[in-house]
Amino acid sequence: MKNSIKQIFLIIILSYASILSQTINLKIIQTTDEHGALFPYDFTDQKEVKNSIAQIYSYVKQEREKKNQEVILLSGGDILQGTPVVYYYNFERTNVTNIFSEAMNFMKYDAAAVGNHDIETGHPVYDKFNREIKFPWLAANAISKKTGKPYLKPYTVIKRKGLKIAILGLITPYIPHWLPEKIWSGIEFEDMVKSAKHWIKIIKEKEKPDLMIGLFHSGVDYTYGNQSIDDEKNENASKIVAQKVPGFDIIFVGHDHHGWNFKEKCVDGNDVQILGATNSGRDASVANCVLTYDKTLKKWNKEISGEIIEAKNFSPDLSLMKKFNTHFDEVKKYVSKELGFFTEPIYSRDAIFGNSSFTDLINKVQLDETGADISFTAPLSLNAKIEAGSVNVGTMFKLYRYENFLYTMSLTGKEVKDYLEYSYSIWFNQMKDENDNLLKFRKDENGNLKYDNRNQAPLLENQYYNFDCADGINYTVDVSKPFGERINILSLDNGEKFQLDKTYKVAVNSYRGNGGGGHLINGAKISKEELNKRIINSTEKDFRFYIMKWIEKQKTITPIKSDNWKVIPEDWWKKGKEKDFNLMFGSK
């Protein structure tokens, strides 16, 4: 009997030793910034495309079928915003399971981070989504004001063949700069470095993981938006965490739509693998981990490398397409609903170079809906085109990309001028002569233009969705002059004299009204605390809803360029515009 027991124990010990001596291949796949791109179909232009989560899922299934490796599937957040697909299930078909919670459950995601655009959908949407999903949705630094604990789960532990893999989720803490408080009511957003230090200590002591992963909805460039490495609550703090917080083996990033694969040195001397996909199901970032247990040192030796897998190399998974075929047809019917008729085409790219009928149309709707004196807007798409002819619900996602509310705010004339000075300072270069660039392009240390690897177009120094122009006033922008001396406001549209000391009602979207882009905080010098007091009114629904109702009421729209502002010297502007247009879009 005793011998039998000894034999059993010996078998168990030998089996355990055998397991520990094995090499484990672990593949961790991350999608991020999915923005509703479930299907290989553009519901706005109603055409097939070569990027989708359905294609990435084919790759995931292929890797799961390999017997010599374990697969973990993660999302970096910004799941619930960006296409008519999620808009429809967020706000129109609210009495059924959200298509993305159902789809991600079907694909068996292991964990996801929460993104700022997920929060943008509002409590009813993201709270419902969190109840529906069968995997943890992570945001350790999103703290409930009521409990003082994370509003959602801070981390999760996944076990694979004796390995313990801990995953800590963090979200960019910059949300209060972009979104109205009612959307994130009851939540505070902590600095990512502070939160990472707090939670990694808890995880190490409590869970003793073999592999430590960060899953962050935050970008890599911590200097973006004139921020610095020492700024509290930096928007893009992923690289800072990698440098300053020991313990991470891999950090998956998102938010910046860039695509990353490099190693960063931590203060403890260890390398951290940084990985991140781009967006909209174009690709997935992959960590290939080879782990071998050292019985002498009693620890896992880790070999980690990264790669980016492109969706265009895979066909959409047929099982997913079949399961969600009814959803596909329902959304297609929704976006096909006709709203009105455009007599002329409009192009968002025209708005990058000066006054355009694209931004003038948005400004007109904002003025009509609010009764404001002045309206500010920017092109929210870089190269959208709305053809002449019938326009439908899908078209509205080209005209107005994001689910912003529409605010009416009170600003003095001086604040209006300073707002515009700021906008054009991040938009237009100070031209030395007519041969200079009109736009502010990003340049390297040698002064050469930096290019986007995806489309080989030069990169702008700032984001086009921050290039605000105004309507309701007549003004000029002198690009020969420096920041602070460019804007000359001639009058209101009705001919009244514009006065710097007078208070005006101004229409802006909620992103801008909450400080997004810096126009009100850095430009008009209105403190973050003061902004809330300046809001006179807000729409109850997203602005796109009101644009659709406005078009339905008008029925026939003739887009008109109001020519209420112009760039001077005009001959400099014309040559600079032609040159930069060809650089960005070609001669067509």
Residue 3 confidence (pLDDT):
57
Helix (H, G, I), strand (E, B) or coil at 588: coil
254 close to 235: Cβ distance less than 8 angstroms: no
Amino acid at 94: T
Residue 18 confidence (pLDDT):
46
Q: How far apart are CA 340 and CA 334, in angstroms?
A: 15
Average pLDDT over residues 72-95: 96
Q: What share of the chain is helix, strand, coil (3-state, %, to 5)?
A: 35, 25, 40
The answer for residues whose C-beta is within 8 angstroms of residue 93's C-beta and 6 or more apart is 330
261 close to 310: Cβ distance less than 8 angstroms: no
Q: Identify the DSSP state of 153.
A: B
The answer for residues whose C-beta is within 8 angstroms of residue 505's C-beta and 6 or more apart is 370, 371, 372, 373, 374, 408, 409, 410, 536
Q: What is the pLDDT of residues 327-340, one digit of tens each?
A: 999 999 999 999 99
DSSP letters spanning 383-441: S-EE-SEEEETTTHHHH--S---EEEEEEEHHHHHHHHHHHHHTTB---SSTTS-SB-B
505 close to 374: Cβ distance less than 8 angstroms: yes
Q: How far apart are CA 241 and CA 224, in angstroms?
A: 16
Q: Identify the DSSP state of 497.
A: P
Q: How far apart are CA 381 and CA 347, in angstroms?
A: 9
Tokens 């969706």 -> residue: 311
Q: Does the pLDDT of residue 10 top 60, yes or no?
A: no
β-bridge pairing 137-138 and 111-113: parallel
Q: Does the pLDDT of residue 587 top 80, yes or no?
A: no
Least reliable range by pLDDT among 17-31, 261-275, 311-325, 543-557: 17-31
Query: Greatest CA span in the chain, whole angstroms?
Result: 105
379 close to 338: Cβ distance less than 8 angstroms: no
Beta bridge partners of 291: 24, 302
210 close to 164: Cβ distance less than 8 angstroms: yes
Instruction: Grade residue 225 by pLDDT with cuts at 50, 70 and 90.
Output: confident
Q: How far apart are CA 58 and CA 223, in angstroms?
A: 36
Other residues' Cβ atoms within 10 Å of the Cβ of residue 536:
12
Percent of the chain predicted with pLDDT > 90:
88
Q: Does the pLDDT of residue 151 top 50, yes or no?
A: yes
Q: Does the pLDDT of residue 99 top 70, yes or no?
A: yes
Other residues' Cβ atoms within 10 Å of the Cβ of residue 412:
17
Residue 386 confidence (pLDDT):
95
Q: What is the pLDDT of residues 156-213, one digit of tens each?
A: 999 999 899 999 999 999 999 899 998 999 999 999 999 999 999 999 999 999 999 9
Q: What is the pLDDT of residues 421-447, one digit of tens each?
A: 999 999 999 999 999 999 999 988 888
The 3-class secondary structure across 442-469, one letter per residue, is: CECCCCCECECCCCCCECECCCHHHCCE
Instruction: From 303, 349, 582, 272, select the one nearest 449 (Cα to Cα).
Output: 582
Question: Does this chain's domain 21-331 share its CATH topology with 337-585?
Answer: no
360 close to 562: Cβ distance less than 8 angstroms: yes
Q: Does the pLDDT of residue 353 top 80, yes or no?
A: yes
The answer for residues whose C-beta is within 8 angstroms of residue 249's C-beta and 6 or more apart is 211, 212, 213, 272, 273, 289, 302, 304
- pLDDT higher at 237 or 8: 237
Q: How far apart are CA 101 and CA 29, in angstroms?
A: 18
CATH topology of domain 21-331: Purple Acid Phosphatase; chain A, domain 2 (3.60.21)
116 close to 73: Cβ distance less than 8 angstroms: no
Q: Does the pLDDT of residue 493 top 60, yes or no?
A: yes
Instruction: Grade residue 20 by pLDDT with cuts at 50, 70 and 90.
Output: very low
Q: Does the pLDDT of residue 14 top 50, yes or no?
A: no
Domain ranges for the chain: 21-331, 337-585
Q: Identify the DSSP state of 379.
A: -
The answer for residues whose C-beta is within 8 angstroms of residue 358's C-beta and 6 or more apart is 346, 347, 348, 350, 351, 379, 384, 399, 559
Other residues' Cβ atoms within 10 Å of the Cβ of residue 17:
12
β-bridge pairing 374-377 and 469-471: antiparallel
Q: What is the pLDDT of residues 297-313, one digit of tens each?
A: 888 999 999 999 999 99
Q: How far apart are CA 386 and CA 398, in angstroms?
A: 7
User: Length of the chain in residues, anyone?
Assistant: 588
Helices 99-106 and 123-132 pack at an angle, to 10 degrees, of 30
Instruction: From 282, 325, 323, select the one nearest 105 (Cα to Cα).
Output: 323
CATH topology of domain 337-585: 5'-nucleotidase;  domain 2 (3.90.780)
